Amino acid sequence: MSSELLSQLPPVAPASGAGSAAWILVALPALGAAVLFLGGRRTDRWGHLLGTATVLLSFVYGVVLFFSALALPGEERVRDLPLYEWFASGSLSVEFGLRLDPLSLTFVLLITGVGSLIHIYSVGYMAHDENRRKFFAMLNLFVASMLVLVLGNGFLTLYLGWEGVGLASYLLIGFYVQRPLAASAAKKAFLMNRVGDVGLALAIFILFAQLGTTQYTEVFARIGELSPGAVTAVALLLLLGACGKSGQFPLQAWLPDAMEGPTPVSALIHAATMVTAGVYLVARSHPIYDLTPTGQLVVTIVGAVTLLIGAIVGCAYDDIKKVLAYSTVSQIGYMMLAVGLGPIGYAAGLAHLLTHGFFKAGLFLGAGSVMHGMADETDMRRFGGLWRHMPITFATFTLGYLALIGFPFLSGFYSKDLIIEAALGGSPVRGWLLGGAALLAAGLTSFYMTRLMLMTFFGPERWRSLTPRSAPWDPSLESEAAPQHPEPGHGSPEHYHPHESPPSMTVPMIVLAIGSVGAGAFLVIGERLGGWLEPSIGPVREVEEAVIPTGLVPGIASVLMLLGAGIAYLTVGRRPVPVERPQRVSLPVRAARADLYANTINEKAIARPGIWLSRALVYVDNRGVDGAVNGTAALLGGASGRARRTQTGFVRSYALTMLGGSLVLVAALLAVALP
Amino acid sequence: MGSQSFSDALGVDYGALAPLLIVLGGACVSVLLEAVLPRVRRRSVQLVFSLAVVVVALAAVIIRATSGAGDVVVLAGSLSVDAPGLFLWGTLLALAVPSVLMLADRSVEPGGVFVADPEALAEAQERVGAGSLRSTSSGLPSGTGTDTHGVVGRRGGAGPEPTTPPEMHTEIFPFVLFALGGMLAFSAANDLLTMFVALEVLSLPLYLLCGLARRRRLLSQEAAVKYFLLGAFASAFFLYGVALLYGYAGSVRLADIAASAAGPLRSDALLFAGLALLVVGLMFKASVGPFHTWTPDVYQGAPTPVTAFMAACTKVAAFGAILRVFTVAFGTTALEWRGVLWAVAIASMVIGTVLGITQTDLKRMVAYSSVAHAGFILIGCLAITPAGLSGTLFYLLAYGFTTIAILGLVSLVRSGDGEAGHLSGYAGLAQRSPVVAAALSFCLLALAGVPLTSGFTAKFAVFSAGLADGMAPLVIVGLVCSAIAAFFYLRVIVLMYFSDPAPDGPTVSLPGPMTTVAITLGVAVTLLLGVLPTAALEWAGAGTFLG
Amino acid sequence: MSPTNYLLLSALLFSIGTVGVLVRRNAIVVFMCVELMLNAVNLSLVTFSRINGSLDGQVMAFFVMVVAAAEVVVGLSIIMAIFRTRRTASVDDANLLKY
């Protein structure tokens, strides 16, 4: 097995030509961040321009590198650029360098490309924020860290970027620090990410302790030397890291809360780039996963569970950004499922990652544009009929929406079908379970996204007939949902003046919409992406023995998509949407009695279980997973607070503590040492 | 005839001992200077002299380390000058440079942070007339509950405000040199008696230094009393351990203890009880939990430069001694006692991390962080392998400089008449002083162990050594604890960058050249050891202990 | 008389000193208890010296005495200083630094 695998690993050539200066990619945004952080108020006037320019330049350079790599024959496309020896002493030897190969270059283009658009968008979006400079500094820091993450040529370099994006994301989620929700969301994101980080760090330590190196080249060449158990342990620990960063089950709960950050952040970090780091990690470590079927199986299960959870919970929220956030969780579940499937899925997962980067970023920017026009409102019940007022936003949002639900011949259609086909392969039981989950979630995606579209852009203009504010329903913020702009009159009709956003915001949306339409076809037809990525992740394998003939998959997926959209139209589009969330009595039994959707028998048969399920999952999410996180935090805080009281300030009680410790130590040593 | 053969006859290798002799001799000369110099010139002369002593001793260490002279045991086997010992000496002396600079600085606190010289005080009083003597020394933090203005009796440290504040006590310089000499001897001690004497030589001046703050006298003196009483208590335990080990082996030489333990079984109860008591004394100095209880109080109460000196140098010396004891005297019996010390390391990491979460005073937070770090370092000590040794040595170097930089930065943030220790004072610091906030953030990230800082390299070295030596549970606890601990470091960063400063919040004083140099040195080394750690790692791994 | 008895006496004195540190409030008395602990160790050292038949232990006892004397100087000066500002030598009153 391992020898066969080793032969698949392409040779690694040293980088030359344009590639030899690839460090510029990282250096530019890092420089931008440093100047903006250290420059202080002096850079307030032009800081955002500098921040945007550095990322744009990085993108241009990335394109140059991409074409120079295209010009190389396939087997020379994997190149290493050693920068310097980070440490070397006796048993320790770690090199700091960059890995330029199709996989990393693909991510470079995604990160810098989408990153540039979002920087441009933020110039307009954050125009009135007095901390705009700081915001751009952190965006730059994020882009630089993310580039280190994908460009590093070893696990330690990856870890450097990993910590960096975690830090930047923590800071950006908590950007509106004066809002308690933002602070607690940042805390939750931080804690859950740390759980993942510990997993990643342990995996790296194990590799280092066993192999004495963390460079990809050597680790992948010698991974066969490890015992199967160790390989599986490493694979599972890496997966834990990936789950934390990518918001995968069971660590998914931080991602929706992270929407408390400014919308461009949601688009850049929590939709397009950082959350895909986990997928990148698994794809990058494919030689490890290829050796451990158990590890792969766990990855697929995590992916399948997550994509279902995300899709089901997405149906329950009224907050436009939260729905998109759960949609992100679900779509990344698709990618995780795909890369867990092994060589048949790598290319599919990465294709979906790229198309998702386009349409989800576009959708988030669209949502931001809606919020911009609606005084930062996020409750969809207070929208309605907006298509007349913001036509460009509406048009781009619609394209993103169609791409996401897999409307034929748009981006999502191609990439999602690839994943579903791959998931249907393998043994029948596995194929039905995984493929069935993927198909079911496709229908659900269509349902919640259609609901979002209908509530936001169609129907009566509910914001015209609002009574002053009452809090939007959201399970996580029931008690403390503070209006974001507490000036008088908020929530009354006069407060809303929907309008189209400035060009700096609409242009990126248009660009992303074009990508949402065309990227899928471009990447998938003729296996362009698969062929390009082959040196990094091996050749694409065809699906064998699928439980449903692959030719039928696009048809079935389309039918499910139409079904989901149809149900959404029947339940939401045809009837007035109450502005206030119907009173929720208790969960989960009374919840099913909520009369929001249930009018006809037809609806009862389909909608009620759906509502019940989604509410139940929301409940579990909040009380279970969130409960675990918050519980851990509360436990630590409480333990800390109580233990703190033992530091009484009395010197005699300190002496007593020391004596107690000494006695225990003496007793334990004597007990252990003396038979 | 001549000094050469005379020294040969005594078996004294002056080349090997030079750094220690320079520092202790310098300390004695410093006492004399204190006696003969006129008061006005004392501070400048003492400062230059102390710095010169430290730098010359450091040069002697470097010369010795690069000369290729082999490891030797000197002074009838009481001191061992070997490669790890030289690394520890180099670390201690290198850390002493910024410490001395910070101790001597008087730009941040007018006249220096230490209590005023009584003569100078008297002169100052004469100038303005005794009637206007005002007590400015009662700056307790609010909320500590005691009315400090009701204190009776004579109070030192109060200067009339219109004139320049009186000079500080210059005795601190000989104190620091003696403490430093004790630390050098402590980390090189090859028998337990020398170790005990060195322990006292390093401790006694530190007790005094803790109590000499110009401001917040009550807190400072309380810290001194607590440190002193608990320190004396701990050294009694240490000494009892020495006695038991002497009873066991018939000698206090570390190598003899190892030889006895390897020989036919005698009374293992003496050996392990002795080890336990010895370890209590050592761990007290290294502030390993649960023997850490003095740490937060003393760190908070002592003048900040003293805290920096203590936090950085004492830890190096104590862990140097722990390493030597574990490796040389107890290496052969490691399998039997190591499991128990696992529990100590875990306790220390957990205590430091959990208690650190709810701290509201930055110096106390640093104290708990040092307890947690002591647990991490202990992982390296327990891995009795070359990798563990070099990782621990590197960790001590990295941690020392980061801590000095942090405490130096803390001393700059001031409100009213003293330091603004409370975390709320750091809100919006980035707006008042971007450079101080950036430097503090960087050092806190280093404590959290973020890559490209020295903290990451150090943790990596120690944890990988621990994992390679079969201590996976410890490493997992270490990783989880550093993950949690990162939270309270980041909280300070967020506070500095994202909160709005309170209108009556603290100010950031512009540091004088000496504090600036000290902080810059700390930050630079933290960065350097994170980016280019190779040279330091190589030196740390250059050799092993000589029994 | 068996030397072991001296060791037991030494352990007893050490324990008395330890308990004294824990229960007495006056800093000077606490400090005296620490000195008692050190001297208990001295007794052990001398006894072991006798058992082992080497003089090292007795020499060590002298070292300990000198160190203890130095500790007294430093300790009393610290206690004096805090007594001057607080007019009390109770260790329980020095309780501002906590939590």
Q: Is A641 on the interface with C (CB under 8 A)?
A: no
C84:B153 CB<8 A: yes
- Region A70-83: mean pLDDT is 79
* Sign of the dihedral defined by the CA atoms of residues B102, B107, B113, B116, in that order: positive
Cross-chain residue pair C98–A649, CB shorter than 8 Å = yes
CA angle at residue B402 from B399 to B408, to 5 degrees? 135
Spell out which residues of chain C touch residue A652, defining contact as CB-CB under 8 Å.
21-23, 25, 30, 91-92
Check CB contact of C39 with chain B, cutoff 8 Å: no
* Token digits of residue A296: 């792969």
Is pLDDT at A480 greater than 60 in this prediction?
A: no
| Domains of chain C: total | 1
Task: Kindly state the average pLDDT of the residues A226-248.
Answer: 88
- B236:C77 CB<8 A: no
Higher pLDDT, B288 or A7: B288
Percentage of chain A modeled with pLDDT above 70: 83
For residue B544, the chain A residues in CB contact (below 8 A) are none
- For residues A231 and A295, the answer to whether their CB atoms sit within 8 Å is yes
Above 80 in pLDDT, residue A66? yes
Q: Quickly state the pLDDT bin for A583 (edges 50, 70, 90).
A: very low
Q: Is the pLDDT of residue C1 over 70?
A: no
The stretch B503-532 carries a mean pLDDT of 88
- Residue pair B330/B275 in contact (Cβ under 8 Å)? The answer is yes
Confirm or reject contact between A647 and chain C (CB < 8 A): yes
Check if B239 contacts C (Cβ < 8 Å).
yes
Question: What distances in angstroms separate CA A44 from CA A52, A124, A504, B431, C44, one per listed residue?
Answer: 14, 15, 19, 13, 72
**ipTM of this predicted structure:** 0.96
Say if the Cβ atoms of B200 and C70 lie within 8 Å.
yes
A&B contacts, CB < 8 Å: 187
Please give the DSSP secondary-structure letter assigned to residue B106: -
Question: Interhelix angle for A47-70 vs A132-151, to 10°?
Answer: 20
Residue C46 lies in a domain: yes
Q: Using CA atoms, how far apart are residues A244 and A222, in angstroms rounded to an integer? A: 27
Instruction: Write out the residue range of the structural domain in which residue C40 sits.
Output: 4-86
Strand A13-14 relative to strand A79-89, pairing: parallel
CA distance B61 to chain C (A): 28
A598 has a pLDDT exceeding 70: no
What is the number of residues in chain B? 547
pLDDT band, very low/low/confident/very high, at B132 (cuts 50, 70, 90): very low
Yes or no: say if B512 and B504 are a contact pair by the CB < 8 Å rule: no
Residue B140 · residue C96 · CB < 8 Å? yes
In this predicted structure, the answer to whether residue B206 has a pLDDT above a threshold of 80 is: yes
Q: Which of A552-556, A622-626, B255-259 has the lowest mean pLDDT?
A: A622-626
- Asked if A282 contacts A336 with a C-beta cutoff of 8 angstroms, the reply is yes
User: Which tens digits make up the pLDDT trace of B309-368?
Assistant: 999 999 999 999 999 999 999 988 888 888 899 999 999 999 999 998 888 889 999 999
In this model, does residue B409 exceed pLDDT 80? yes
C13 has a chain B CB within 8 A of its CB: no
- Chain C's closest residue to A656, CA to CA, is C22
CA of A671 vs chain C CAs: smallest distance (Å):
20
The confidence score (pLDDT) of residue A23 equals 84
Q: What b/e sequence results for B353-368 when a residue is b if at least 16 CB atoms lie within 10 Å of its CB, and e otherwise?
A: bbbbbbbebbbbbbbb
Chain C residue closest to B356 (CA)?
C99
Residues of C in contact with A654 (CB under 8 A): none
Other chains touching C, judged by 3 or more CB pairs under 8 Å? A, B
Closest CA of chain A from B524, distance in Å: 16
| Nearest-CB residue to C99 (from A647, A651, A659) | A647
pLDDT bin (cut points 50, 70, 90) of residue A487 is very low
Q: Assess contact for A368 and A264: CB atoms under 8 A.
A: yes
The single residue listed with the structure tokens 């003939």 is: A549
Residue C92 lies in a domain: no
Residue B389 CB neighbours (<10 A): 26
Q: How far is C98 from chain A (nearest CA, A)?
A: 4
pLDDT given at position A493 = 61
Let me know if residue C29 belongs to a domain.
yes
Rounded to whole angstroms, the Cα distance separating A547 from A557 reads: 15
Which one of B219, B225, B256 makes the best mutation probe of the C interface by having the most chain C beta carbons within 10 Å? Answer: B225
Task: Inspect the interface and report whether the beta carbons of C91 and B225 lie closer than 8 Å.
Answer: yes
What is the value of pTM for the model shown? 0.84
Q: Cα distance from B126 to chain A (closest Cα, Å)?
A: 39
What pLDDT score does B200 carry? 95
| C-alpha distance from C61 to closest chain A C-alpha (Å) | 23
Percent of chain A at pLDDT > 90 equals 4
Mutation choice for B interface testing from A167, A647, A662, A664 by most B CBs within 10 A: A662
Question: Coil, helix or strand for B119?
Answer: helix
Tokens 């834990």 -> residue: A240
User: Which chains contact B through at least 3 pairs of Cβ atoms less than 8 Å apart?
Assistant: A, C
Compute the distance between CA of residue B356 and CA of residue B366 in angstroms, rounded to an integer.
Answer: 8
Number of Cβ pairs closer than 8 Å across A and C? 29
Cβ contact (<8 Å) for B236 and C54?
no
B117, B338 contact by CB (below 8 A): no
| DSSP one-letter code for A472 | P
Residues of C whose CB is below 8 A from B224? 78, 81-82
Q: What is the DSSP string of A85-109?
A: EEEEETTEEEEEEEEESHHHHHHHH
Predicted local confidence at residue B266, as pLDDT: 60
Tell me how crowded residue A68 is: count the other CB atoms within 10 A of its CB.
16
Among C15, C18, C19, the strongest candidate for a mutation testing the A interface, having the largest count of A CBs within 10 A, is: C18
* Residues of chain A contacting C29 with CB distance shorter than 8 Å: none
Asked if C16 is an interface residue toward chain A (Cβ–Cβ < 8 A), one would say no
C-alpha to C-alpha distance for A83 and A104, rounded to whole angstroms: 17
The answer to whether A552 faces chain C, any CB pair under 8 Å, is no
Q: Report whether pLDDT(B248) > 60.
A: yes
For residue A76, the cross-strand partners are none
Average pLDDT over residues B523-540: 89
The answer to the question of residue C91 being in a domain is no
Nearest C-alpha neighbor of C39 from the set C73, C8, C70, C62? C62
Task: Test C60 with B218 for CB contact under 8 angstroms.
Answer: no
| Closest chain C C-alpha to B445 CA, distance in angstroms | 25
Residue B446 has pLDDT above 60, yes or no: yes
> Edge-to-edge strand order for the sheet containing B413-415?
B418-419, B413-415, B507-508
Identity of the residue in A640, A658, A668 whose CB atom sits nearest the CB atom of B230: A658
Q: pLDDT value at position A535? A: 80
Cβ–Cβ contact A651 with C under 8 A: yes
Asked, for residue C95, whether it belongs to a domain, the answer is no
What contacts 24+ positions apart, CB below 8 Å, involve A667-671? A668/B276, A668/B340, A668/B343, A669/B272, A669/B273, A669/B275, A669/B276, A669/B337, A669/B340, A670/B269, A670/B272, A670/B273, A670/B276
Q: In what order do the strands lie in the sheet with A13-14?
A: A13-14, A79-89, A92-100
pLDDT, position A575: 64
Q: Does A261 have pLDDT greater than 60?
A: yes
| Residue C74's CATH number | 1.10.287.3510
pLDDT band of residue A479 (cuts 50, 70, 90) is very low
Mean pLDDT is highest, among A312-316, A502-506, B208-212, B511-515, for B208-212
- The predicted-structure confidence for B82-93, as pLDDT tens digits, reads as follows 999 999 999 999
- Do C41 and B229 lie within an 8 Å CB cutoff? no
Residue B249 has pLDDT above 80, yes or no: yes
Closest of A25, A6, A163, A143 to residue A83, by C-alpha: A25
Please check whether residue A656 touches C, CB under 8 A. Answer: yes
- Name the residue with higher pLDDT: B482 or A614: B482
Comparing alpha-carbon positions, the chain C residue that sits nearest to A652 is C22
Which of these ranges, A50-54, A220-224, B495-499, has the smallest mean pLDDT? Answer: B495-499
**Radius of gyration of the CA atoms of chain B, in A:** 23
* C30: closest CA of chain B, how far (Å): 8
Q: What is the CA radius of gyration of chain C?
A: 17
Per-residue model confidence (pLDDT) at position C20: 93
Buried b vs exposed e over B413-445: b needs ≥16 C-beta within 10 Å?
bbbeebbbbbbebbbbbbebbbebbbbbbbbbb
Q: Measure in Å the smallest separation between the Cα of A345 and chain C Cα atoms.
A: 55
Position C79 pLDDT exceeds 80: yes
Share of chain B above pLDDT 70, in %: 88
Say yes or no: C8 contacts chain B, CB-CB below 8 A.
Answer: no
The sign of the torsion formed by the CA atoms of B245, B247, B248, B254 equals positive
How confident is the model at residue B98, as a pLDDT? 94
Residue B323 confidence (pLDDT): 94
> Nearest-CA distance from A641 to chain C in Å?
9
Within a domain: residue C93?
Answer: no
CB < 8 Å to C75, chain B: 207, 228-229, 232
Answer whether residue C48 shows pLDDT above 90: yes
Does residue C14 lie in a domain region? yes
Nearest residue, CB atoms, B228 vs list C49, C52, C78: C78
* Rounded CA separation B232/B240 (Å): 12
For the beta carbon of residue A44, count every other beta carbon within 10 angstroms. 15
- Name the amino acid, one letter, at B90: G
Residue in C37, C77, C84 nearest the CB of B236 = C37
Residue A659: closest CA among chain C residues belongs to which residue? C18
**Chain B: residue nearest C47 by CA?**
B247
Residue C58 lies in a domain: yes
d(CA B382, CA A99): 37
Judge whether C61 is closer than 8 Å to chain B, CB to CB: no
- Give A10-35 as a 3 state SS string: CCCEECCHHHHHCHHHHHHHHHHHHH
Rounded to a whole number, what is the distance in Å from the CA of A636 to chain B's nearest CA?
6
